[in-house]
Amino acid sequence: MKRLLLALLLLAGCAAQPAQPAERTAEPVLPNGYRDPGQPASLPAECTTPEGRAKYDPARTLNPAGGLGDGTSVLDGGTLAEIREHGLDVGVSQTTPLLSRRDQVTGEMEGFEIDLINRIATELFGRPLQRNDPMLRLVTMPTGSRLLALDTDKNNAVREADQALEEVPVVDMVVADVTMTCDRVYNHDVVYSTPYLTTNAGLLTRRGAEARDSLDELRDRKVCAASATTSIVDLLESQRTTGVKPVSTPDSSECLMLLQRGLVDAVYTDFPILQGLQLQDPGTELTDLPGQGGGTAGVAISAKHQDLVRFVNGVIAAMRADGSLRASHEKWFGEHVRAAGLEPGPVLPLPPIAYID
């Protein structure tokens, strides 16, 4: 009997071996708005025909010397008078060092685009602006709705249709490395100033032994760009030939985060934006991709505010003529980059100034 009990106990002991815990892995958390494959902006049918492209040509802009058709100067325009009385609101990005970056503690903004905005404001108010001058308000635009902040008929209709968009602040202009494209002119009823920056695309990767300096070398690897930008369109178009896997996030700064976390292998966007990202991470390598992507960036203004378009064009023309635009570019994309121990990129020439009137 005792033997039987012992045998039963031994059997029970063997049966009660602790179960091996199931193997589990922590799923990486991805940003809100992350898309795989990446999300491009929708291209309106009007931008696919030669007539439509000519009508909504982003390079069509107004001559600063042009009047309002009633014999008065551009400087007497209603929008300009309103701004001089109540102040200038400019929509900016705060996460693109060298172009436009905010110190989160002091709130001060700096960068190439901020220099341009300061010059426009100085000319508008006829005096240099003080630090935190209440007449110049730099508004950080809600992601994905920058151009919606302009007071245009199309934007107003969209805002009225969607209550959530009611809180998008209304600004006089948007200066946020906005690549000049037909769909933006068509969708938002904007007029661009003459370009203040010409860019091409670049590639930011983690530094290492393996060469990753072109999209072809990133076959089957995830490459990140900001959603609804020309960069994600480029990536999606090149997917068939290069074999990359395009993914997108609402902001290019989030692409850097994903690169640092090892969740993507490269960031593809305008070279100056990538220079700003590289400054934040010395463990990355930046490759210039001449002839690929990019475009020209201009100040986006409502088509209703023609006097403001003319005024801004006048300021940009003056900055181009007196060399201050070039000097500012050199200060940020030359001196600052060199001071960080990095190689400055190529300086691409601005296209010749052309107006429609």
Partner 1 sequence: MRKELRAYLRRTEGKLTMVAALTSASALLLGLIGWLVLQDRQDMLDDAVERRGVLTSAALDVYRAFADADATSLDALLVDQQRSPQLQHKVRENVFDALDALRAAAERDGGGSAAERIQRITDLVPQYVQLVESGWSAGREGHPVATSYLNQASFLARGKILEDAAALHREQIENLTEAQQDATGQSWLVWLLGFSVLGVLHWSNRFLFRRTKRRYNTGLIVAAGLTGAALLVTSVPLLISSGHAEDSIRNREEVVAPLAEARNVGRSADGNEARLLIYPSVGDKEALRKDLADIAGLIARAAESATDREHIDQAADATRKWTEADATLVTTDSRLTYPETVALVTPPERGKSTAELVDEHLTAAISTYTNASARSTAEARAWISGLDVVFALLMAGAAIAALAGLRPRIAEYYR
* Residues in touch with partner 1 (CB under 8 A): 24, 26, 28-29, 31-32, 94-97, 101-108, 132, 134, 137, 140-145, 163-170, 250-251, 253-254, 256-257, 260, 277, 279-281
Tell me which residue has tokens 């902040």.
149
Q: Which is nearer to partner 1, 242 or 252 (CB)?
A: 252
Q: Which is nearer to partner 1, 300 or 316 (CB)?
A: 300
User: Which of 121, 120, 116 has its CA nearest to residue 100?
Assistant: 116
User: Which helix or strand (DSSP H or E) is residue 156 part of?
Assistant: helix 153-161
Rounded CA-CA distance 174/144 in Å is: 13
Rounded CA-CA distance 183/41 in Å is: 8
Q: Which is nearer to partner 1, 145 or 292 (CB)?
A: 145
Rounded CA-CA distance 234/200 in Å is: 12
- The distance of closest approach from Cβ of residue 107 to partner 1 in the complex, given in angstroms and rounded to an integer, is 3
Rounded CA-CA distance 51/355 in Å is: 19
- The distance of closest approach from Cβ of residue 103 to partner 1 in the complex, given in angstroms and rounded to an integer, is 6
Instruction: Output the CA angle 32-225-218, nearest 5 degrees.
Output: 120
Residue 76, both tokens: 């007497």
- The distance of closest approach from Cβ of residue 174 to partner 1 in the complex, given in angstroms and rounded to an integer, is 14
Check: CB of residue 61 under 8 Å from CB of residue 355.
Answer: yes
Number of H helices, E strands in the chain: 12, 15
Q: Which is nearer to partner 1, 44 or 87 (CB)?
A: 87
- The distance of closest approach from Cβ of residue 136 to partner 1 in the complex, given in angstroms and rounded to an integer, is 10
Q: Which is nearer to partner 1, 117 or 141 (CB)?
A: 141
- The distance of closest approach from Cβ of residue 147 to partner 1 in the complex, given in angstroms and rounded to an integer, is 13
